[in-house]
Amino acid sequence: MWLWFAKLGSPKWFYELSSKWLPWLVGAMAITLAVATVWALLYLPPDYQQGFTSRILIVHVAVAGTSLAFFPLMAVAGTITLVWKMKLADMVAKNAAALGAWFSFITLATGSIWGSVSWGTWWEWSDSRLVSMLFQFFLLLGVVSLRSALEDSDKAAKACALLSIVGCINVVVIKYSVEWWNTLHQPASPVSIESGSANGPEFWIATALMILGVYLFMSVSLILSTRNEILRRERRALWVQELLHESD
Amino acid sequence: MKPSTLTAFVLTLKRDLLIAFKRKNDIVNPFMFFVIVVSLFPLAISPEPARLAEISSGVIWIAVLLSAMLSMDSLFRADFEDGSLEMLLLSPHPLFFLVLAKNIAHWLVSGLPVVVASPLLGYMLKLPADAYATLMLTLLIGTPTLSLIGSIAVALTVGLGSRGLILAVITLPFSVPVLIFGTLAVQASAGGLPAGGYLALMLALLAGSLSLAPLTSAAALRISVS
């Protein structure tokens, strides 16, 4: 029963398996993203209050949802690194931190663009989702900078694993405290996302497709960067050398 | 014969306090930094009492956070440089208690002076007098929490040459809940409202970090010193 688990930890096995999966994943990603984008940008009826700006929400919601997956992912990978010392888990975690920071950034950016039209402001402290997303972004950057500060890669792996686990817990605590802080500050509430948007079926199907597409995009990016990392770290291994000679 | 863990705990505490009092710079500088940062705010913003009263709790808390960040740097550094940290890791006693002892010693010399001086700074920033007690209480609960949270990042970066900034980048986002509840409590009592709920939440944060942070710091030290 543990055999598949031990196998999963082997970078070579992952590299070969992902070579088979990648074309399918990329294909599925391309189709869902294309359909969802075209649908969202060309066919979605304009919202009666927000007009055409509601269309950016489809991208925003999908990216935001996906960006929340990074800390749990890194915490699980970190636990595997600390407990089973699996190299592959750390390679995934390393790339997940930087990718997660990018996803959080895109979430903040698309949210700001939407907010600049709908709320009339690029940044609004009275929305707790904005604030907690900002701090998730900072925490992810902290993990990235810890990784780059530690030179010994084995030490960096364990240190970042620990920080990811603590960070995962902290993201939740920060989220709740920010929400609470917010309700107590009695914001001059901007138009909330829930009110006013006609959430018809075409809106939801487009959003669901976009979420699926963005998740696929995240998986593909993660797999691609992990493959690069495998080649970089295992460059002295025999199978990588052979692979390189084949491609010559 | 092996001394009991309690003896080891007390000895570590005493040793750290003794070292701190022999190197007074480590105590005085973070405290002076705190006082100076607070006194810069009226110059930068406005000497007007009403405006100062409005921002005073936030200013004091931010200054506390920054000075805690600076003082954290010395928590394990000297011990790492002279090798006594390795002795600590090799000791047969649970590292949890030894790290906790170091944390307490560090808080006594860096956190406690800030707590004691806070009413004076509150007065200088025109904080309403009703809120002095709450300010001291929140700092009494909050500063050890900050030290405990900070010790994780210090332990993770103990081997690095220059780490002041990375320490801040990692720790500051972690201190958001403490900052939120600390300032909310002070603002509540400045406005004549009860602050008990916030204090209870801060105590919960302290209890959580008291039980989890030394454990995590111990694990981080084992990673860094190997």
**Mutate which of A137, A140, A181 to disrupt the B interface (most B C-beta within 10 Å)?**
A181
CB contact under 8 A, B173 and A149: no
pLDDT for position A115 = 82
- CA–CA gap between residue B35 and residue A39 (Å, rounded): 59
CB contact under 8 A, A177 and B166: no
Residues in B closer than 8 angstroms to A166, CB to CB, are: 152, 174, 216
Average pLDDT across chain B, whole number: 87
User: What percent of chain A is modeled with pLDDT above 90?
Assistant: 23
Q: Does B179 touch chain A (CB under 8 A)?
A: no
User: What percent of chain A is modeled with pLDDT above 70?
Assistant: 85
pLDDT at A190 over 60: no
Record the pTM: 0.84
Query: Binning pLDDT at 50, 70 and 90, where does residue A175 land?
Result: confident
pLDDT for position A41 = 77
CA dihedral of A218, A222, A228, A232, whole degrees rounded to 10: 150
- CA–CA gap between residue B151 and residue B99 (Å, rounded): 9
Q: How far is A67 from chain B (nearest CA, A)?
A: 17
Of A3 and B174, more confident: B174
CB contact under 8 A, A146 and B216: no
A66-90 pLDDT, tens digit per residue, is: 888 899 999 999 999 888 888 888 8
Residues of A with CB under 8 A from a CB of B: 135, 138-139, 141-142, 145-146, 149-150, 155, 158-159, 162-163, 166-167, 170, 173-174, 177-178, 180-181, 184
Q: How far is B3 from chain A (nearest CA, A)?
A: 31
Q: How far is B2 from chain A (nearest CA, A)?
A: 31
Domain chopping of chain A, boundaries? 22-246
Cβ neighbour number for residue B16 with a 10 Å cutoff: 21
Query: Binning pLDDT at 50, 70 and 90, where does residue A196 land?
Result: very low
Tell me which residue in A135, A155, A163 faces B170 most closely, judged by beta carbons.
Answer: A163
B89-112 pLDDT, tens digit per residue, is: 888 888 899 999 999 999 998 889
pLDDT for position A201 = 65
Give the number of A-B residue pairs with CB atoms closer than 8 Å: 65
A22-60 pLDDT, tens digit per residue, is: 889 999 999 998 888 888 777 776 665 666 677 778 888
pLDDT for position A195 = 43
**What ipTM is given for this predicted complex?**
0.82
Tokens read off for A84: 């089973």
pLDDT at A109 over 70: yes
pLDDT for position A6 = 67
- CA–CA gap between residue A97 and residue B21 (Å, rounded): 41
Q: Are B79 and B154 in contact (CB under 8 A)?
A: no
- CA–CA gap between residue A61 and residue A190 (Å, rounded): 18
How many alpha carbons lie under 13 Å from residue B210 in its C-beta half-sphere? 12
pLDDT at B223 over 90: no
Stretch A10-22: mean pLDDT, rounded? 84
B148-178 pLDDT, tens digit per residue, is: 999 998 998 887 877 778 888 888 888 888 9
Q: How far is A160 from chain B (nearest CA, A)?
A: 9
- CA–CA gap between residue B106 and residue B114 (Å, rounded): 13
pLDDT for position B16 = 87
pLDDT for position A51 = 65
pLDDT at A102 over 90: yes
Tokens read off for A56: 């950016």
